[in-house]
Amino acid sequence: MAIMNDRITKKEIITEIFHICKRNNNLIFDNNLIKDILKRLNSNTNPSDMTKLDNTDKFPDILLKEDYFIAHIGDGIHQFVKGINKVFHEFEKIEEDEIIKWPYRPSILNDFSESESSVLSLCFNHRIIHDFLYQDIVSNPKIYNSERKKGISFKYRIGDVEMSFENLQIEIDLTSENYGFVTVFEGKNTKNSTKNSDSWIKNFNIFQLYNPFRYYYELQQNNKIKIKKLTACYLVRQKNDGNSIIRLFNYIFEDPFDITSIKLVKKNEYILERRQLNDD
């Protein structure tokens, strides 16, 4: 029985894929190449996870040096594309007047899940999403939890480069709807911060917001649903000494067919302060 190699990193495998594509003068590759490399290296790494790069901290040095990212085409096909900053967006700086102290009494379940859905549930349950999106904590938006959509196809652009998706699978962390105003969410938990470190992620893969955005935009264009306004929100949670800090960034795409047209609408930081009541 072959001994599985757990020391091979995701960055090393992506580097190997990139070198093969460059040697072949073909920047398009598929899941079969990934599986072949994993088999050759006796790696038990999940092949489906290989091309998921949520931020540039996960990039191998070779991609950063040569300025390439991975775009998914669909049907297990991917492509190295030039221009990292076209699809990896730097989070905007939070200003002092955008920081809100938010008193709350935590549920007993708040601190026992590190999933992406848990941070979205936390912010919905404690009315942070209500305040951020609608400026009304007693509003009554409808929410639709994590969904996976299959067989998604559409054409789009990365600036002046024409691209297309065929039979793509997309994931939507959360969708909220309030009187025709629809917002898709991407939620992220980051590492716990310390006094001497800043563990906020610096940027994100715009596809995480764009694909869910385009899914609903296509439904709107095909007259399947009526949407008054469609936006996309990235929500990040960081724990600090047992407490939570939440940052929300709400975006639109000025040109729905161009992923580089992302534009910030608003941003806020919520510092969650635990309330102690008499019966605690």
The three-state (H, E, C) secondary structure of 224-245, written as one string:
CCCCCEEEEEEEEEEEECCEEE
Angle of the 10-23 helix axis to the 31-40 helix axis, nearest 10:
120
Alpha helical stretches, state H, the chain: 10-23, 31-40, 61-66, 116-125, 128-129, 207-221
Highest mean pLDDT (candidates 29-43, 97-111, 235-249, 261-275): 261-275
- The pLDDT assigned to 2 comes to 44
Q: What is the pTM of this model?
A: 0.90
Whole-angstrom distance, CA of residue 231 vs CA of residue 272: 25
Looking at residues 117-129, what average pLDDT do you find? 90
> What's the pLDDT band for 279 if we cut at 50, 70, 90?
low
Looking at residues 16-35, what average pLDDT do you find? 95
| pLDDT surpassing 60 at residue 197 | no
Whole-angstrom distance, CA of residue 195 vs CA of residue 168: 42
Whole-angstrom distance, CA of residue 128 vs CA of residue 133: 9
Task: Name the 3-class secondary structure at 74.
Answer: strand
Lowest mean pLDDT among 103-112, 190-199, 236-245: 190-199
pLDDT in tens, 138-150: 999 999 988 899 8
Lowest mean pLDDT among 48-52, 185-189, 191-195, 265-269: 191-195
Instruction: Say which residue, 244 or 1, is predicted with more confidence.
Output: 244
- The pLDDT assigned to 3 comes to 43
Inter-residue contact 192 to 162 (CB < 8 Å): no
Looking at residues 111-125, what average pLDDT do you find? 78
How does strand 243-253 pair with strand 262-274?
antiparallel
Looking at residues 177-183, what average pLDDT do you find? 97
Lowest mean pLDDT among 15-24, 93-102, 118-127, 189-198: 189-198
Instruction: Say which residue, 189 or 277, is predicted with more confidence.
Output: 189
